[in-house]
Amino acid sequence: MWDNRAAMSFRLPIQYDFSLRAYNTLGVEARAQAYLQVTASDMLALIDSNAELDGLPRFVLGGGSNVVLTRDFDGLVLHMCTEGIEIINQDEYATYVRVAAGENWHRFVLWTLAQGLGGLENLSLIPGTVGAAPIQNIGAYGVELKDCFHALTAFDFASGELFRLGKEACEFAYRDSVFKHRLRGRTVIVDVTFALPKQWQPNFRYADLAQELAARGLDSPTARDISDAVIAIRTRKLPDPRVTGNVGSFFKNPLVSAAQRDALLLQHPQLVSYAQAGGSFKLAAGWLIDQCGWKGKRVGSVGVYEKQALVLVNRGGASGKDIVDLARAIQADVLARFGVQLEPEPVFI
Ligand code: EPU
């Protein structure tokens, strides 16, 4: 632990003109003016006492799996590398587990399963860190982070204080939270507490997952069975970022009104859409992009993954700008053909 009394005299191990290539899963080159590996949350309170960091914009980096670096960053990158997982409480409804922001998400999910705690199995193999997960309310196979979220601790840059946020205050929505809006750039998530249900129920309503489990002859799967099935599907459909640079889904599945979906369905009977609470529909962006002929296409050093049109890939040596140019071309085609504006999912620098 860091001794706060030494704060005024302590110099943080800042590195300057630091390459972020190894720290973003797209694998693009961009340099940070200043970089700090945050291995203890107490380090955050010391930043203000380093005069050379005064006034520098800050960017918080987790696993770098949902960020597109389009330029060098003239500021301080805070790379959250804190560790620690602990069961902090239990009641009749849930087991409460607090996790440090820098823990790898998938390793944490596997840890919960090893403890016999279900709830996060559908979110297996999602790249990135625990601290990044609430920002876009990660989701897959019918489950979102918010379903097992209890509270989090964040550090407020302005006041230099830690504060707690409960579920309501996080304003979770589809791939969205208060951290993409009102609190954008103002805080760092330090730890997250999950409430893992005592009365666990499997959730395999998502068609792909139901099929995978049926193919394995599992009609009452355990949490571990679901995790194994999700890992198998993701491995088949999504590129491994350690091999092929990508940030998972590049666009959100767009929400449209029932009238717009009905009109599209008349013209395109194969349209893939999902009814939402409130009467609107979510369209499968991957299907829209696929229909425009982009799947598997290569444009210079970037391309669209051959097994999932929602994933843009770095074919080697791409820059963030190359990826952005490709994304814009795809958006323009989808807009021209379907009248639907695709919204990117990752964060851009
Ligand atoms: N589809 C196509 N062509 C494609 C891709 C998809 O026709 O190239 C069709 C599929 O046949 C299917 C539908 O589109 O009918 C949906 O595809 P899929 O089940 O693969 O899911 P998705 O909507 O493309 C979403 C999430 C993924 C998540 C999966 C599983 C978003 C933006 N993406 O993808 O999340 O893993 O569902 O739940 O919501 C991520 O956020 O990075 C991510 C990978």
Q: Which residue numbers are catalytic?
A: 175, 249, 345
Task: For 115-136, write each residue's pLDDT tens digit.
Answer: 999 999 999 999 999 999 999 9
Query: Per the confidence metrics, is the pTM higher than 0.85?
Result: yes
Task: Give the pLDDT band (50/70/90) at residue 50.
Answer: confident
H helical segments located in 134-250:
207-215, 223-237
- Please report whether residue 52 resides in a domain: yes
C-alpha triplet 180, 184, 187: angle, nearest 5°: 125
pLDDT at 4: 47
Instruction: Name the maximum alpha-carbon separation found in the chain.
Output: 69
Domain boundary among 65, 80, 95: 80
* CA–centroid distance, residue 122 to ligand 1 (Å): 14
The ligand 1 atom at the shortest distance from the C-alpha of residue 295 is 8
* CA–centroid distance, residue 71 to ligand 1 (Å): 29
3-class SS at 110? helix
Domain boundary among 182, 197, 212: 197
Task: Give the pLDDT band (50/70/90) at residue 337.
Answer: very high
Does 154 lie in the same domain as 63? Answer: no
- Please report whether residue 333 resides in a domain: yes
Domain that holds residue 53: 4-80
311-314: strand order across its sheet = 245-249, 311-314, 302-304, 298-299
Task: Give the pLDDT band (50/70/90) at residue 11.
Answer: confident
Does 180 lie in the same domain as 126? Answer: yes
The predicted model gives 289-293 an average pLDDT of: 98
Does 75 lie in the same domain as 89? Answer: no
Ligand 1 binding pocket (C-beta < 6 A) is 140-141, 206, 208, 237, 248-249, 252-253, 272, 284, 286-287, 290, 295, 308-310, 345
Pocket test for ligand 1, best of 138, 209, 249 (most atoms within 8 A of CB): 249
Does 26 lie in the same domain as 10? Answer: yes
Residue 334: give its domain's CATH number: 3.90.78.10
Instruction: Kindly report the protein residue whose alpha carbon is nearest to atom 20 of ligand 1.
Output: 308
Does 337 lie in the same domain as 282? Answer: yes
Residues in the chain: 349
- Please report whether residue 39 resides in a domain: yes
Does 188 lie in the same domain as 113? Answer: yes
- Please report whether residue 220 resides in a domain: no
- Please report whether residue 32 resides in a domain: yes
- Please report whether residue 188 resides in a domain: yes
> Residue 328 pLDDT > 50, yes or no?
yes
> Residue 271 pLDDT > 60, yes or no?
yes
* CA–centroid distance, residue 265 to ligand 1 (Å): 19
Does 261 lie in the same domain as 169? Answer: no
The ligand 1 atom at the shortest distance from the C-alpha of residue 141 is 38
* CA–centroid distance, residue 284 to ligand 1 (Å): 7
278 vs 250 pLDDT, higher one = 250
Does 142 lie in the same domain as 72? Answer: no
Residue 26: give its domain's CATH number: 3.30.43.10
The ligand 1 atom at the shortest distance from the C-alpha of residue 249 is 42
Does 193 lie in the same domain as 96? Answer: yes
Pocket test for ligand 1, best of 310, 342, 345 (most atoms within 8 A of CB): 310
Domain count, the chain: 3
Q: How far apart are CA 232 and CA 117, in angstroms?
A: 21
Does 11 lie in the same domain as 51? Answer: yes
- Please report whether residue 217 resides in a domain: no
Residue 90: give its domain's CATH number: 3.30.465.10
Domain boundary among 80, 96, 116: 80
Residue 216's Cα: distance from chain center in Å?
29
Does 110 lie in the same domain as 66? Answer: no
| Bridge partners of residue 156, in order along the sequence | 161, 187
Does 311 lie in the same domain as 330? Answer: yes
The predicted model gives 167-184 an average pLDDT of: 96
- Please report whether residue 237 resides in a domain: no
